[in-house]
């Protein structure tokens, strides 16, 4: 299984998971053109997309959802809250829409994709557990806190994409207005570097190979600070990478 982090951050999020030439897309906050360009840059050539899964309706995750679904004529999978919140009912989706509830598992080609509920200020937001060929990847970005359900769901993953949104000191000392600072740091907002590291420590196990630090804030974080928090947990047991809003990471083999 290969994981692609095409873009990560509040300006746009787009992930891809590939197995034996087939793939699923997760979120798209990029233009159709930029998404295609970054797929190539990451090393995903000639792949066959089977579907687009959406986590929640915030623009940085769905801005380019309709265009991507039309470009590849693939079905869109999300909760009804995400679908209506994103206004997708007003768009043409030639591949159709498949409603899923948090807790559901969708079987699609070689992939099995489980939706689970996350704590975030959206209509009905989801995290994902994706399995194919005996390998699993867990995705949890855009969440204010991680509960027992999330830890139980993602406990056995070989790869993880976890939110390391902000450094708490940078957030409180930074330029954001007070209500926004409160929203970000609340249980329905975004996880700090300390929260991300704490979650990672609960999810780490001998078969975890790689963790991508995701959704880093431009104003309130740096890759160095996020990495420093995660390294304290990972030591040398698994690989750490930081996602970027500027460029795709090279395709990550998760074994």
Q: What's the token pair of residue 157?
A: 């993953």
Minimum Å distance from CB 134 to Zn ion? Answer: 30
Comparison of 18 and 142: residue with beta carbon closer to Zn ion: 142
Q: What's the token pair of residue 235?
A: 């030591």
Mask 83-122, x = binds Zn ion (CB under 5 A)? Answer: ----------------------------------------
Of residues 122-151, which lie at the interface with Zn ion (CB under 5 A)? 142
111-117, strands of its sheet edge to edge: 105-108, 111-117, 126-132, 135-140, 159-163, 210-214, 239-242
Of residues 53-72, which lie at the interface with Zn ion (CB under 5 A)? 58, 60
Give 141's Cβ-side CA count (13 Å radius): 33
Comparison of 35 and 58: residue with beta carbon closer to Zn ion: 58
Comparison of 184 and 233: residue with beta carbon closer to Zn ion: 184
Minimum Å distance from CB 178 to Zn ion? Answer: 20
Number of residues engaging Zn ion in binding (CB under 5 A) = 3
Minimum Å distance from CB 92 to Zn ion? Answer: 25
Minimum Å distance from CB 133 to Zn ion? Answer: 29
Comparison of 58 and 131: residue with beta carbon closer to Zn ion: 58
Minimum Å distance from CB 122 to Zn ion? Answer: 6
Comparison of 2 and 221: residue with beta carbon closer to Zn ion: 221
Comparison of 158 and 217: residue with beta carbon closer to Zn ion: 217
Q: What's the token pair of residue 16?
A: 């891809």
Q: What's the token pair of residue 226?
A: 């996020």
DSSP 125-167: -EEEEEEETTEEEEEE-S-S---HHHHHHHTT-SEEEEE--B-
CB 162 within 8 A of CB 190: no
Minimum Å distance from CB 112 to Zn ion? Answer: 25
Distance of CA 75 to the CA centre of its chain: 19
Q: Helix or strand or coil: residue 26?
A: strand
User: b/e map of 127-139 (b: 16 or more CB within 10 Å)?
Assistant: bbbbbbeebbbbb
Q: Which residues bind Zn ion (CB under 5 A)?
A: 58, 60, 142
């Amino acid at each position: 299984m290969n994981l692609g982090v095409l873009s990560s951050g509040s300006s746009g999020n787009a992930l891809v998971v590939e197995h034996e030439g087939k793939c699923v897309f997760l979120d798209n906050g990029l233009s159709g053109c930029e998404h295609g360009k970054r797929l190539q840059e990451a090393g995903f050539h000639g792949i066959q997309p089977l579907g687009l899964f959406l986590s929640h309706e915030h623009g940085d995750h769905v801005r380019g959802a309709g265009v991507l679904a039309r470009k590849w004529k693939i079905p869109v999978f999300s909760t009804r809250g995400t679908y209506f919140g994103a206004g997708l009912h007003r768009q043409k989706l030639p591949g159709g829409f498949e409603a899923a509830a948090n807790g559901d598992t969708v079987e699609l080609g070689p992939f099995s994709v489980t939706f689970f509920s996350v704590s975030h200020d959206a209509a009905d937001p989801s995290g994902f557990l994706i399995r194919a060929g005996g390998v699993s990847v867990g995705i949890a970005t855009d969440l204010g806190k991680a509960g027992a359900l999330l830890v139980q769901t993602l406990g056995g993953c070989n790869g993880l994409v976890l939110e390391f949104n902000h450094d708490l000191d940078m957030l409180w000392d930074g330029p954001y207005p007070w209500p926004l600072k409160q929203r970000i740091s609340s249980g329905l907002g975004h996880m700090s570097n300390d929260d991300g590291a704490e979650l990672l420590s609960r999810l780490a196990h001998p078969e975890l190979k790689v963790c991508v630090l995701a959704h880093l804030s431009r104003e309130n974080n740096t890759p160095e600070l996020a990495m420093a928090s995660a390294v304290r947990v990972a030591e040398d047991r698994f690989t750490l990478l930081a996602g970027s809003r500027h460029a795709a990471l090279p395709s990550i083999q998760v074994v």
